[in-house]
Amino acid sequence: MSTKLVPSLCPYCAVGCGMYLVVEKGKAIGVEYMTDHPACEGALCPKGNSVLEFLNHEDRLKYPMKRVGDEFVRISWDEALDMAAHGLARNIKKNGPQSIGFLASSRCNNEENYLMQKLARFLGSPNVDNCARLCHSPTVVGLGAVLGTGAMTNNLIDLQNSKCIFAIGTNFTEAHPIVSRWAQKAKDNGATIIVADPRITSTSWMADLHLRIKPGSDIDLLRGMMKVIIDEGLADKKFIDERTEGYPELALNLKDFTLEKASELTDVPAAEIARAARIYAKSSSSALLYSMGITQHVCGTDNVKACATLSLLAGQIGRPGAGVWPMRGQNNVQGNCDMGGMAEFYPGYKKASDPKSIEFFKAAWKVDDLPMGPGLTSTEMTDAALEGKITAMYLIGEDPVVCEANINKTKAALDNLDFLIVQEIFMTATARMADLVLPAAAWAEKDGSYTSMERRVQWIDQAVPPVGEAKEGLWIINEIGKRLGLDLGGTSARDVLTEVNRNVPQYAGMTFERISKVGGLRWPCPDEKHPGTDILHKERFSTPDGRAKMASVLNKPAGERTSEDYPILLSTGRIVVHYNSGSMTQRCTSLRERDSELYVEINPADAAPLKISHGDMVKVKTVRGEAEARARISEKVKPGMAFMPFHWQGTNIITSDAIDPVSKIPEYKMAACRIETIA
Ligand code: SF4
């Protein structure tokens, strides 16, 4: 009996850890560590170690199904594909191509996402988006505006070269556990770790200095630090003069701002803000890490711009150990955006609103017409579906009925559609609302490339055949296209990658042969001789004139404030053993054993007058609805604040759908709630 080791990747978060799957008789039976993988050196977190529990789970979708009344009925692939094509065609005929919405998947590979956005645009719809809208769209537009590229500037292992790590709005030890390996190495080498977070977290336990800021005061803290840096002559004048624009405006923006004011706005003692600023600016190489604590606000884009501007002001960018590290969420959210699965961009971040992009892709794809964008974002599609402007949707690997903010609204929107296709590996809450459910191959059951948060593009081969009648996403999208009279090009992932090499400049040199080696290559990689790029912006920024654009921003009030009726501010986030909507991790016994139910952290000072004890079931209510959760009485949250993990549906029933007007991300981090005991 032959057992083989097939190189693979962890299908969960965007760290992109490598692993081997042990395959015997066409079945994955074990995971082995890939000790020569450059991002993880063989380490895996609890999720990575448990991937087979969901891959081989009996709940996997195994055949296509259509809705008949309240039931789902098994159908053949022929019937399913005909139904998909007819449903889309019917809505295009009746309401026009703009009535169709597409969600590409950050869990799927680059080739599937490239083909998905091509299908949308070939059909004349500009409305294609992905879950980056809910996590890091402010990174794409905010870092893009300041630095010219909306992606991590350095690589993960380069963190060990940092002498200061400033982590704001990221609990990376839980959300991206393997990153702590590199942060700890930096600490062992003498780095100072500063964490800005309202909560006490496992990341703040690593910190030399924990700035327990008031929720929503990130810009005030960053401006306070910038003020200290300017006033104490710590700004890197040479770097600013030679490589940036916007310093005079920034100095003016901060002229009347004081450290005392920053302290009052953030609840952080002035001396701590000053200490953080000095350490960050004076160290020989400072890293700035951030995640959804920064992005998921109505001022998410400005928060990101302020982070990038701080790094420019101190000249802490473009060198080993110095840069900006956005901690992206899903395993291929970076790649999905790179492939054009975003309403604002065609592949390679060619602006959908620029006629030159349209001309480029008309020539590349040999078509007469393509839609100008920007199209509707996923959050805008929800509103458009409620208004009857979007009447059909095709979703792959996305679960908005758990992941969007204010999901009662999302449910009503999906309910209002004439036709909904969901392509998935499990019967998710969103799939349960579909007219047609298409069973998809999971990551180990197909070929393709994935791009991690550090711009690392890695190819994996199919390790095992798909379960039951499940099919690879490429095959499904191509077959639907064919039935709509479209030739989408490549039928194999390798063919599509070759097209990506031609049409996405950052990926031009990333051929199959090159990215199928352990660790792949990091973009930009403009030709087949190019070694890939470890550190961006070493000599010039990727703006048209090569200079970074410092941003002068002011904080904005949250979309929702606490009140007498809703006196507690609710924030949400990840925990180490679960992943996004929980559709995969909650099927893994080893993970569920560690955390199996929704909970809410409440400060003892808030719990006592409400007569809530640790372990009680409580109701958490906002103006949008209510969720039941187990109370955890804890000093981890400040008085007046509560925290819930978002891996259970209850959480996003109550989160706020107030939107950042630039990136259109919802403000998950700031909902006013009240907590009641359950009688
Ligand atoms: Fe997987 Fe992320 Fe954990 Fe690595 S850190 S094993 S990629 S979930």
Q: Which pLDDT tens digit goes with each residue over 471-489? A: 999 999 999 999 999 999 8
Can you tell me the distance from the alpha carbon of 397 to that of 74, in angstroms, rounded to the nearest whole number?
Answer: 20
State in Å: Cα 32 to ligand 1 middle.
14
Instruction: Write out pLDDT tens, residues 615-624.
Output: 999 999 999 9
138, amino acid identity: P
* Pair 437, 409: CB distance under 8 Å: no
Q: Which atom of ligand 1 lies closest to the CA of 46?
A: 3
SS3 for 360-383 is HHHHHHCCCCCCCCCCCCHHHHHH
User: Does residue 196 have its Cβ closer than 6 Å to ligand 1?
Assistant: no
E strands, 149-214, are 164-168, 192-196, 209-211
Q: Environment class of residue 124 by beta-carbon count within 10 Å: exposed (0-12), middle (13-18) or buried (19+)?
A: middle
Find all residues with CB under 8 Å of 27, minimum gap 6, and list them: 56, 464
Q: Which residues, other chains included, contact 304 with Cβ-Cβ below 8 Å and sequence gap of 6+?
A: 138, 139, 142, 143, 146, 290, 294, 295, 326
- For residue 12 and ligand 1, the question of a CB distance below 6 A is answered with yes
Enumerate residues 6+ apart whose C-beta is below 8 A from 149: 143, 536, 537, 541, 542
Atom of ligand 1 lying closest to residue 19 CA: 6
DSSP 497: H
Provide the 8-state DSSP code for 438: E
State residue 342 phi and psi, 5-degree precision: -135, 145
Centre of ligand 1 from the C-alpha of residue 81, in Å:
34
Do the bridges between strand 65-68 and strand 436-439 make them parallel or antiparallel, or are there none, so unpaired? Answer: antiparallel
Residue 177 near ligand 1, beta carbon < 6 Å: yes
**CA angle 346–352–358, rounded 5-degree value:** 80
* Ligand 1 pocket test, candidate residues 10, 331, 333, most atoms within 8 A of CB: 10
Determine what percent of the chain falls in helix, strand and coil, rounding each to the nearest 5.
Answer: 35, 20, 45
Please list, in sequence order, all residues whose beta carbon lies within 8 angstroms of the beta carbon of residue 311, skipping any fewer than 6 positions away.
286, 288, 317, 322, 323, 324
| Calpha distance 515→449 (Å, rounded) | 8
- Strands of 517-577, DSSP E: 521-522, 548-549, 568-573
Distance 31 CA to ligand 1 centre (A): 13
CA 14 to centroid of ligand 1, rounded, Å: 7
Residue with the smallest CA separation from ligand 1 atom 3 is 45
| Separation of CA 206 from chain center | 24
CA of residue 176 to ligand 1 center, whole Å: 6
Atom of ligand 1 nearest to the CA of 177: 5
193 neighbors 179 (Cβ within 8 angstroms): no
Cα 606 to its chain centre, rounded Å, is 32
Query: For 121-159, how does the pLDDT look when each residue is reduced to its tens digit (9 = 90+)?
Result: 999 999 999 988 888 889 999 999 999 999 999 999 999
Name residues whose C-beta falls within 8 Å of residue 77's C-beta, 6 or more positions apart in sequence: 64, 469, 471, 479
pLDDT per residue over 79-124, tens digit each?
999 999 999 999 999 999 999 999 999 999 999 999 999 999 999 9
Helix axes 407-415, 378-386, angle to 10 degrees: 60
8-state DSSP, 618: E
pLDDT reported for residue 1: 59
Nearest residue to 273 via CA among 259, 285, 284, 287:
259
Count other Cβ atoms within 10 Å, centred on residue 432. 13
- Look at residue 329 in the predicted model and tell me its pLDDT: 85
Query: Would residue 604 be called left, alpha or beta, if left means φ above 0 and alpha means ψ between -120 and 50 degrees?
Result: alpha
Q: What's the rounded mean pLDDT across residues 640-657?
A: 94
| Amino acid type, 121 | R
- Of 69-73, 264-268, 407-411, 647-651, which range is least confident? 647-651
Instruction: Reply yes or no on whether the pLDDT at 373 is more than 90.
Output: no
- Tens of pLDDT, residue by residue over 494-529, are 999 999 999 999 999 999 999 999 999 999 999 999
Q: How far is ligand 1, taken at its centre, from the CA of residue 532, in Å? A: 23
- 52, two tokens: 């087979």
**E strand map for 145-225:** 164-168, 192-196, 209-211
- DSSP one-letter string for 293-359: HHHSSTTHHHHHHHHHHHHHHTT-SSBTTBEEEE---BTTHHHHHHTT-BTTEEGGGEETT-HHHHH
Angle at 284 (CA atoms; ends 279, 288), nearest 5 degrees:
60
Point out which residues pair with 448 in neighbouring strands.
460
pLDDT at 136: 87
Ligand 1 atom, smallest distance to 10 CA: 1
Q: Looking at the predicted structure, is the pLDDT value of residue 679 above 80?
A: no
> Is the link from the previous residue into 524 a cis peptide, with omega within 30 of 0?
yes
User: Is the sign of the CA dihedral 578, 645, 210, 615 positive or negative?
Assistant: negative
Position in ligand 1 atom list of the atom nearest CA 49: 6
Instruction: Give the percent of the chain with pLDDT over 70.
Output: 100
pLDDT, mean of residues 239-262 = 97
What percent of the chain clears pLDDT 90, i.e. is strictly above it? 95
pLDDT at 306: 98
Does the beta carbon of 31 lie inside 6 Å of ligand 1?
no
pLDDT of residue 491: 86
Q: Which atom of ligand 1 is nearest to the CA of 43?
A: 6
636 touches 600 (CB < 8 A): no
Q: Say how far apart CA 549 and CA 543 lie, in whole Å.
A: 8
Q: Is there an atom of ligand 1 within 6 Å of 48 CB?
A: yes
Taking residue 47's Cβ as centre, other Cβ atoms within 10 Å add up to 24
Distance of CA 503 to the CA centre of its chain: 24
User: What is each CA distance from 315 to 257, 322, 492, 656, in whole angstroms?
Assistant: 22, 8, 45, 36
Name the average pLDDT for the chain: 96
Mean pLDDT calculated for residue range 357-369: 97
The token pair at 57 is 């789970």
HEC readout, 64-114: CEEEECCEEEECCHHHHHHHHHHHHHHHHHHHCHHHEEEECCCCCCHHHHH
- What pairs with residue 521 in β-bridges? 457
User: Count of CB atoms within 10 A of residue 446's CB?
Assistant: 26
CA distances from 117 to 370, 430, 431, 516 (A): 12, 20, 21, 24
Q: What is the pLDDT of residue 489?
A: 87
Q: What is the DSSP pairing of strand 209-211 with strand 192-196?
A: parallel
Could you tell which of 21, 51, 171, 178 is best to mutate to test the pocket of ligand 1, judged by most ligand atoms within 8 Å of the CB?
A: 178
Sorted by sequence, the CB contacts under 8 Å of residue 43 that are 6+ apart come out as: 17, 33, 178, 181
Token couple for 258: 């004081």
The average pLDDT across 431-442 equals: 98
Dihedral Cα 121, 126, 130, 135, nearest 10 deg: 150
8-state DSSP, 140: I
pLDDT in tens, 565-614: 999 999 999 988 899 888 999 999 999 999 999 999 999 999 999 999 99
